[in-house]
Protein backbone atom coordinates (compact mmCIF):
# COMPACT_ATOMS: atom_id res chain seq x y z
CA UNK A 1 0.00 0.00 0.00
CA UNK A 2 1.01 3.59 -0.58
CA UNK A 3 0.58 6.86 1.31
CA UNK A 4 -0.07 10.12 -0.57
CA UNK A 5 1.96 12.79 1.25
CA UNK A 6 1.20 15.78 -0.96
CA UNK A 7 1.80 17.04 -4.47
CA UNK A 8 2.41 14.11 -6.78
CA UNK A 9 4.30 12.11 -4.16
CA UNK A 10 3.27 8.72 -2.82
CA UNK A 11 5.48 6.50 -0.70
CA UNK A 12 5.20 2.84 0.29
CA UNK A 13 3.57 2.64 3.72
CA UNK A 14 6.08 -0.06 4.73
CA UNK A 15 8.95 2.46 4.33
CA UNK A 16 7.47 4.96 6.83
CA UNK A 17 9.32 5.16 10.13
CA UNK A 18 7.63 8.26 11.56
CA UNK A 19 5.16 11.01 10.71
CA UNK A 20 5.84 14.11 12.79
CA UNK A 21 4.30 17.56 13.21
CA UNK A 22 6.91 20.12 12.22
CA UNK A 23 5.67 22.89 14.52
CA UNK A 24 5.56 20.93 17.75
CA UNK A 25 8.71 18.89 17.18
CA UNK A 26 11.00 21.73 16.12
CA UNK A 27 10.65 23.28 19.56
CA UNK A 28 13.32 20.78 20.59
CA UNK A 29 16.93 21.76 19.97
CA UNK A 30 17.76 18.15 19.12
CA UNK A 31 15.09 17.95 16.41
CA UNK A 32 16.24 21.22 14.88
CA UNK A 33 19.79 19.90 14.80
CA UNK A 34 18.62 16.58 13.31
CA UNK A 35 16.77 18.35 10.49
CA UNK A 36 19.66 20.75 9.88
CA UNK A 37 22.20 17.92 9.55
CA UNK A 38 19.77 15.90 7.42
CA UNK A 39 19.37 18.83 5.05
CA UNK A 40 23.12 19.40 4.83
CA UNK A 41 23.66 15.74 3.98
CA UNK A 42 20.92 15.73 1.32
CA UNK A 43 18.38 13.48 3.06
CA UNK A 44 15.53 16.01 2.93
CA UNK A 45 13.13 16.41 0.03
CA UNK A 46 10.57 19.20 0.03
CA UNK A 47 7.57 18.12 -2.01
CA UNK A 48 5.78 21.46 -2.22
CA UNK A 49 6.43 25.18 -2.30
CA UNK A 50 3.90 25.57 0.53
CA UNK A 51 5.10 25.78 4.11
CA UNK A 52 5.62 22.27 5.48
CA UNK A 53 3.28 21.13 8.23
CA UNK A 54 4.86 17.74 8.80
CA UNK A 55 7.86 15.62 7.98
CA UNK A 56 7.95 11.95 7.20
CA UNK A 57 11.02 9.86 7.96
CA UNK A 58 11.37 6.88 5.65
CA UNK A 59 13.87 4.13 4.96
CA UNK A 60 14.14 2.11 1.77
CA UNK A 61 16.98 -0.33 1.07
CA UNK A 62 18.79 0.91 4.19
CA UNK A 63 18.75 4.50 2.88
CA UNK A 64 16.96 7.20 4.86
CA UNK A 65 14.94 10.01 3.34
CA UNK A 66 12.91 12.77 4.97
CA UNK A 67 9.98 14.35 3.16
CA UNK A 68 8.63 17.79 4.08
CA UNK A 69 4.88 17.72 3.49
CA UNK A 70 2.25 20.49 3.35
CA UNK A 71 -0.27 18.01 4.80
CA UNK A 72 -0.71 17.86 8.58
CA UNK A 73 0.70 14.92 10.51
CA UNK A 74 -2.79 14.10 11.84
CA UNK A 75 -4.19 13.81 8.32
CA UNK A 76 -1.27 11.67 7.17
CA UNK A 77 -1.59 9.39 10.20
CA UNK A 78 -5.32 9.00 9.52
CA UNK A 79 -4.59 8.11 5.90
CA UNK A 80 -1.98 5.59 6.98
CA UNK A 81 -4.41 4.06 9.49
CA UNK A 82 -7.15 3.91 6.87
CA UNK A 83 -4.80 2.13 4.46
CA UNK A 84 -3.90 -0.40 7.17
CA UNK A 85 -7.61 -1.04 7.86
CA UNK A 86 -8.29 -1.69 4.18
CA UNK A 87 -5.39 -4.10 3.87
CA UNK A 88 -6.65 -6.12 6.85
CA UNK A 89 -10.05 -6.76 5.22
> What are phi and psi for residue 32, nearest 5 degrees?
-60, -45
Q: What is the pLDDT of residues 11-35, one digit of tens each?
A: 999 999 999 999 999 899 999 999 9
| Structural domains in the chain (count) | 1
Percent of the chain with pLDDT over 90: 81
Q: Which residues contact 22 (CB under 8 A, 6 or more apart)?
A: 52, 53, 54, 55, 68, 73
Q: What is the pLDDT of residues 38-54, one digit of tens each?
A: 999 999 999 989 999 99
Q: Strand order in 44-46's β-sheet?
A: 16-21, 54-60, 63-69, 44-46
Residue-level pLDDT at 80: 85
Q: Which domain holds residue 27?
A: 2-87
Helix (H) or strand (E) holding 81: helix 73-87
Contact 52, 43 (CB under 8 A): no
Is this structure's pTM higher than 0.85?
yes
Amino acid sequence: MFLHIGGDVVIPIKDVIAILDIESTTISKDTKEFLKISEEEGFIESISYDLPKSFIITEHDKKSKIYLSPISSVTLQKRAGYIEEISNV
